[in-house]
Structure 1
Amino acid sequence: MATETAYTIAPLSPQTWPAFDALVQRHNGIFGGCWCIWFHPDGPERGQGAEANRELKKAYVESGQAHAALVMDGEEAIAWAEFGTPAELPTIHHRKQYDATKSADPDYRITCVFVDKRYRRQGVTELAISGALGMIAQAGGGVVESYPHDLTEQTKKTSSSFLYNGTRRLYERLGFTYDRPKGLRNCVMVKTVDPA
């Protein structure tokens, strides 16, 4: 397992953009050039292309509209957990079902977690999510939702490269509680984060 002392956590910002950029570039833009913009207000990046997605993500970062906790190994970013308000990250999978079953919007969402393939299965995902929760606490805390894969009843093994937001069990270890199902093999997990 990774330890807090082995790595540091840094916010995604114009200053850390080069490290984030290098991580995404090492993985061919992530999921075919997504650049983790799918959840932002401009909606699905389909049709824009990887370079356009990169520029859009950079613009969001430079304007303070994109937030993530980066896990750093020295100067190199090795993972991230994207988070933001529902206004900053309005696009989520299974939206129709989500809206039909929600009682209120959360203060924050954690929508995407990615780990460099060289560091997978070492506890780095948990560090990234914990980093995001720490940044949310610094920003005043509140109700946080995330939408991980619910593999508790699944018998077929799933590759970690497809688990774009971790698993229900991981979030349970981090103090989240199960709220409801969302789509096929996904769920809504909730945690209230106190202000730091």
Structure 2
Amino acid sequence: MADVTVKSLTPETFDDFAALVERNKGMFANCWCTWFHPDDRGPGSTVEDNRAFKKRLVDEGIAHAALVYDGDLAIAWAEYGTPEELPAIHHRKEYLATAERLPDYRITCIQVEKVHRGKGLASVALRGAVDLIAQAGGGVVEGYPHDTGGVRKKNSSFLYNGTRTMYERQGFTYDRPKGLGNCVMVRRVAPSPGH
């Protein structure tokens, strides 16, 4: 897909993101990509609550993602942010016990619309997130992909943050395991020229 573009998730692009999520029934259990954010809403959040919560975070500038577009249609995204913005990572207790330091940014979720999977768009989304992080000043970036040993063992619907080999192709290096089947991948991202 040579003609795809990447845009930042902003109040101006939120409706494009919302349309993507709605076409895919809210993604995982109607999460609306809110799971990794700090959440003071309490139990029992509805689909409408999750959408409103994500919209509020985007409006406040504390929810970030690289949106991948095919023409005017958003078809994939990679969520990223600081550890303060995205603290609720899987296997957090183990992660904190083995961390020497927290990264400047983390990439927590990469999703591609089902009908567009298998075309390399997860890599495009990851590269887009790295580029947007560089524009924001760069720093140490972590991702937590599935470590499949180079073999796709899971349905792509459950590879919510891509694979270790995809991260390696984007210049990340393996740091350590995290949970069952995931790992911590690290890359130092230089700031964009002129930043």
TM-score by length of 2: 0.95
Q: Is the 8 A contact 1:38 1:44 kept in 2?
A: no
- Which residue of 1 is the match for residue 169 of structure 2? 173
Q: Secondary structure at the match of 2:175?
A: strand
Structure 1 residues 17-36: aligned runs within 5 Å: 17-36=14-33
| Superposition RMSD in Å | 1.5
Q: Secondary structure at the match of 1:35?
A: coil
Matched, 1:12 2:9: yes
Structure 1 residues 9-88: aligned runs within 5 Å: 9-42=6-39, 47-88=44-85
- Which residue of 1 is the match for residue 115 of structure 2? 118
Q: Secondary structure at the match of 2:96?
A: helix
Structure 1: 5+ residue runs without aligned partners? none
Q: Is the 8 A contact 1:23 1:77 kept in 2?
A: yes
Q: Structure 1: which 4+ aligned runs deviate by more than 2 Å?
A: 43-46
CA offsets 1:129-159 (integer angstroms, 9 cap, x no match)? 00000000001100000000010177x8210
Matched, 1:164 2:185: no
Q: Which residue identity lines up with residue 72 of structure 1 in the other structure?
A: Y
CA offsets 1:88-127 (integer angstroms, 9 cap, x no match)? 1111000010000000000000000010111101000000
Aligned identity (percent) is: 59
Aligned length: 192
- Which residue of 1 is the match for residue 98 of structure 2? 101
Structure 2: 5+ residue runs without aligned partners? none
Deviation of residue 83 (structure 1)?
0.3
Q: Is the 8 A contact 1:34 1:45 kept in 2?
A: no
Q: Which residue identity lines up with residue 88 of structure 1 in the other structure?
A: E
